[in-house]
């Protein structure tokens, strides 16, 4: 989230003023040469005065820049309606593959559905690979994989929903960090493992998945989320900032569904106005999950 700064405040003002006064003082007139002095004497260059380095401090605003003073807050629809929608959600995992192609350890590196952690872990532990090869021999390494999931999100059943206006005194929360998958992967710089395995970047041929069972294929259970949403003057949600979400796959789902809601806009001075609000929802949700593609990665992500 963007941070906002207030006015800058200069410090060391007294030292700066003194330095400027000294710089404006007339330079001393050099004395005439003494008769008989050596002609080879080198004149001494006058010393130069310079301003002391300026140091500034930044202050945060005393009021939340997202907040507004309203006569009437925005209101959600009395009965919010959700639709079924399919989200493409890549999963990134790492598995330690021994020289026989067996998985001895597994890690969920970036998981869009943490609610299915036990089933996802069970799946990775049962994968079988053609082992990596280096110098013509099997090598033990950490395999990195990207599993593209098609997640069919069924309409959530809400048990609680609140839409609270953001006021000038509302503290700014820490947003939920979930960057775009490509940006996350490109910026990832995982440390090299120190367990004696060969880096996947250094093998001649990476481990190739042969058997890839996937037990994390469905879910029905609780969900919760907190989002900051911008409601425009026409009563539509046009921006979403995730603050907390039980499963990151729901971020894409709600970004698709929330703009379809008819929201009563906030009012100020008798007119509808745009406003930022915190939308909190909880209830139950269901997913059906299908593996669409598995990609071997030539980069350590563990």
pLDDT in tens, 275-301: 999 999 999 999 999 999 999 999 999
Residues 6+ apart with CB under 8 A from 205: 132, 133
pLDDT at 283: 98
Confidence at residue 45, expressed as pLDDT on a 0 to 100 scale: 60
Report pLDDT for 57: 79
Mean pLDDT of the chain: 87
Which of 285, 264, 283, 213 has its CA nearest to residue 73? 264
Supply 259's token pair: 């703009």
CA distance 28 to 42: 18
Distance CA 38, CA 271 (A): 89
What percent of the chain is predicted at pLDDT more than 70? 82
Contact criterion met (CB below 8 Å) for 144 and 302: yes
Dist. CA 126–CA 124, nearest whole Å = 5
Q: What tokens does 275 get?
A: 């406003």
CA dihedral 176→179→181→182, nearest 10 degrees, is: -170
Lowest mean pLDDT among 8-12, 105-109, 198-202, 234-238: 8-12
* Per-residue confidence (pLDDT) for residue 101, from 0 to 100: 98
Q: Quote the pLDDT of residue 48.
A: 61
**pLDDT at residue 117, as a whole number:** 98
Tally the residues of the chain: 302
- For range 44-49, the mean pLDDT: 60
């Amino acid at each position: 989230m963007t941070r906002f700064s207030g006015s800058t405040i200069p410090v060391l003002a007294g030292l700066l003023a003194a330095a400027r006064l000294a710089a404006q003082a007339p330079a001393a007139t050099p004395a005439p040469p003494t008769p008989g002095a050596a002609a080879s004497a080198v004149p001494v260059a006058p010393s130069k005065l310079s301003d002391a380095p300026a140091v500034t401090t930044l202050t945060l605003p005393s009021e939340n820049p997202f907040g507004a003073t309203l006569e009437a807050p925005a209101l959600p629809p009395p009965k919010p309606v959700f639709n079924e929608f399919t989200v493409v959600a890549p999963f990134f995992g790492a598995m330690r593959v021994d020289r026989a192609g067996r998985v001895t350890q597994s890690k969920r590196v970036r998981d869009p559905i943490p609610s299915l952690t036990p089933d996802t872990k069970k799946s990775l532990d049962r994968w079988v690979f053609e082992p990596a090869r280096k110098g013509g021999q099997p090598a033990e390494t950490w395999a990195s994989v990207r599993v593209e999931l098609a997640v069919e999100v069924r309409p959530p059943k809400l048990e609680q929903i609140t839409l609270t206006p953001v006021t000038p005194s509302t503290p700014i929360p820490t947003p939920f960090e979930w960057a775009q998958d490509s940006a996350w992967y490109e910026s990832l710089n995982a440390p090299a493992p120190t367990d004696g395995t060969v880096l996947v970047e250094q093998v001649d041929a990476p481990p190739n998945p042969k058997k890839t069972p996937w037990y994390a294929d469905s879910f029905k259970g609780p969900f919760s989320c907190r989002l900051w949403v911008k409601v425009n003057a026409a009563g539509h949600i046009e921006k979403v900032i995730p603050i907390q979400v039980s499963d990151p796959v729901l971020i894409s789902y709600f970004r698709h569904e929330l703009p379809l809601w008819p929201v009563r806009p906030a009012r100020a001075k008798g007119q509808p106005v745009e406003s930022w609000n915190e939308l909190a929802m909880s209830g139950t949700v269901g997913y059906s999950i299908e593996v669409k593609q598995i990609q071997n990665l030539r980069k350590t992500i563990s």
